[in-house]
Structure 1
Amino acid sequence: MQLARIHHLLQVAILLAVMVLSIWLIGDVLMVVFAATLIAVILHNLAAMVERRTRLPYWLALSLVVVVLLAAIGGLGWSSGPAIAEQATRLRIALTTQAHSLRGQLNASTMGRTVLDYLPQSLGGNQAGGGDNGMGSRIAGSMTGVLSSAFGAAGTLAVILIAGLYFALSPALYVNGLLRLIPPGHRPAARTLLLVAGRTLWAWTAGQALDMLVVGILSGVGLWFIGVPLALALGVVAGMANFIPYIGAFIGAVPAILLGLSQGTREGLLVMALYAAIQFFEGNVMAPLIQRHAVQMPPGLTILSQTVFGTILGLPGLVLASPLTAALLAMMDRATPPLDEEDRV
């Protein structure tokens, strides 16, 4: 019995070691695979909804979904694309100007220079970067990735979309191929966990899409009402940034606050109050309604997962940390028995 326990512990330790080493060495490739899987889950569930409502064959329902999505994106680009592109260009110029102005104001005071001395140059500070042999350089090197260096961002996005489309076209083919790699005795449990992960990813994505839409509309309308320039572009930025829970709220608010301060202290304070009200509404009204039908994730674990994946895998890890964590939590919840009442804290 002791030998059996040791053998089991060695198996678990080897499996964990292989997983950690794989994430470290080919993390960028794994993120591309996961992103393609997320796209496939979205397309598959949309096609399944169309299939149930219209009685069309699955391949035809999927084709209809893809055509509608492409038409919607093309229509949005045709109608609002020039305005959004123009405002995005003006937003970049305005933010660059504001950043230089803020740096000059900080340099004019002793406290400001102290703050800049402790900030790296990549964030506008005075601190020089470290040598090439530091841990940060090694992590940054691992973030580059084979796909990013070979294809660039546009090529990687194309790979994700094409792979996701093929995954959605024949999902059973790829899932069954993955199950064949698992020992026969564990295949029923693995099948159940994969189905749970797929349902969780769809629920998380649907809920987050609704959340992004509401935050983007409220931000754009509120900024327009305050009189902040480039309200359309700032609303789009706020909605897109909200794909990353918690951290995305700050990322989306910073450009609007900087532009608000450029108009005056009153406008800057109004923008801060606007984003605080939107996040209060999102966290206390929208999130409970969405989580009732979608996925409930502990905030502390969400932020911790974003920190870990973002540090190891860079921006892709930060963006995909939340859906990945949601799927892992759902799989662990199904794979492990619930606690007895006397075992609870």
Structure 2
Amino acid sequence: MKDVDLSIGTSSPTARTLRWIALTALALLAVWIAGGFLLIGFTGILVAIMLRALGDQLARATGLSCGRTVLIVTLALILLIGLTCWLLAPRLASQVDELWQAIPQSIDQLRAGLSNYSWSGTLFRQLDPDRLDLDSGSILGRLSGAASSVMSFLGTLVVVCFIGLYLALDTKLYRSGLIRLFPPSYRPRVDRILDELGRLLKWWLIGRGISMIATGVLTGLGLWLLGIPLALTLALLAAVLTFVPYVGAILSAIPALLLGLVQSPTMVLYVSLLYVVVQLVEGYLLTPLIQQETVALPPALTIASLVLFGALLGPLGLMLGTPLAAAGIVLIRMAYVEDVLERDET
């Protein structure tokens, strides 16, 4: 295949580098201005990649068209989620209620254990129920705010799912439309970059899925063997929060540690060791195997991306910081390093 000339006219290397810097600055400005919309679109792309990957597997096995298999996979996932909620929702609701009632007791025991330290007074003073504003107006305001947040989340979830479904049903239409936005000489290269981005994000989703399932199963089994109550709820919490590297593991361990504290200080040590072992298995066994097919992000870069996107784009940016950083690395490597810097050397 003829090499694609990504230079424009007789532009000098310095001019091309400055042009890429300007494009990067414009991209960052667009993220800052329309970050919420772009994150919803990016999440929809992740959903589309998942549906398309499952649909392609089913199409190869059955010989059906990809559009039909995507619809079949979507309906199967909806039925699976609905059946899971129907079977587990009552038990989970009961366990969540028990967890909500057990945490104050755990905090009281923690307060008693740390009462000899001067700094503990300031910490627990903020958690004192007597300091909370519990008048009816305040309660109604909080309930209204919570209901608004839930409705906003559900609305966003519906939009993301429909974006993902439409993208998965007719991927070629949207992909060709995006490619046609570039000059003809760029299009073959853009097509290869999109292939690499799709492969990367597909394997990232596979890796996160395997990590979430393994973390949930190992955590639930370990908590059950230790005799910690509400093991199912804590296992599901650990599995869901594993989606966010590092931060999720810390947050998921807090309720389990508080419940362990109700039993004994020794149990807190056992629960801590359990979560450390699970994270070691996930971080040093499962993740490296998956990263052989993806971009291996160094820990410092992963944490930096979480902090950056979390600060710029909020909780959703924190959740998607890792795939955004990985996709950014691919774009920088292929569109800038290979097509600008290394081309200038040749």
Question: What per-residue deviation string (whole Å, max 9, x for no partner) do you get for residues 232-291 of structure 1?
Answer: 000000011111122211121111111111222121111001111111222222223333
CA shift, 1:9, in A, is 4.6
Distance 2:10 2:182 in 1: 25
Aligned to 2:212, the other structure's residue is in SS state: helix
**Letter paired with 1:301:** L
CA contact (8 A) 2:109 2:262 kept: no
In the other structure, the counterpart of 1:82 is 90
In the other structure, the counterpart of 1:328 is 328
CA gap of 1:89–1:178, structure 2 versus 1, over 3 A, is farther
Question: What per-residue deviation string (whole Å, max 9, x for no partner) do you get for residues 114-159 of structure 1?
Answer: 6679xxx79x9x9xxxxxxxxxxxxxxxxxxxxx989611101110
Question: What per-residue deviation string (whole Å, max 9, x for no partner) do you get for residues 77-112 of structure 1?
Answer: 122121122212322333355456656876774122
CA shift, 1:60, in A, is 1.2
In the other structure, the counterpart of 1:263 is 263
Q: CA RMSD in A?
A: 2.9
CA gap of 1:50–1:108, structure 2 versus 1, over 3 A, is same
CA shift, 1:24, in A, is 1.3
In the other structure, the counterpart of 1:308 is 308
> Higher mean Cα deviation, 281-290 or 319-328?
281-290
CA gap of 1:39–1:269, structure 2 versus 1, over 3 A, is same
Larger Rg: 2
CA contact (8 A) 2:213 2:239 kept: yes
Aligned to 1:245, the other structure's residue is in SS state: coil
CA shift, 1:12, in A, is 2.7
CA contact (8 A) 1:105 1:112 kept: no
Distance 1:305 1:72 in 2: 33
In the other structure, the counterpart of 1:29 is 37
Distance 2:295 2:211 in 1: 13
Residue 44 (structure 1) aligned to one of 23, 48, 52? 52
Matched, 1:228 2:236: no
In the other structure, the counterpart of 2:141 is none
Matched, 1:160 2:160: yes
Q: Identity rate of aligned residues, in percent?
A: 37
Distance 1:91 1:150 in 2: 21
**Letter paired with 2:225:** F
Unaligned runs of 5+ in 2: 1-8, 132-147
CA gap of 1:19–1:105, structure 2 versus 1, over 3 A, is farther
Matched, 1:217 2:217: yes
> Higher mean Cα deviation, 216-225 or 289-298?
289-298
> Higher mean Cα deviation, 296-305 or 149-158?
149-158
With normalisation by structure 2, the TM-score equals 0.82
CA contact (8 A) 2:105 2:262 kept: no
In the other structure, the counterpart of 2:180 is 180
Higher relative contact order (Cα pairs below 8 Å, separated by 6+ residues): 2
Aligned to 1:184, the other structure's residue is in SS state: coil
List structure 1 segments (4+ residues) > 6 angstroms apart after TM superposition: 148-151
> Higher mean Cα deviation, 293-302 or 203-212?
293-302
CA shift, 1:8, in A, is 3.2
CA contact (8 A) 2:49 2:202 kept: yes
Distance 1:322 1:10 in 2: 27
In the other structure, the counterpart of 1:141 is none
Distance 1:248 1:34 in 2: 21
CA gap of 1:110–1:170, structure 2 versus 1, over 3 A, is same
Unaligned runs of 5+ in 1: 127-147, 341-345
Distance 1:84 1:15 in 2: 48
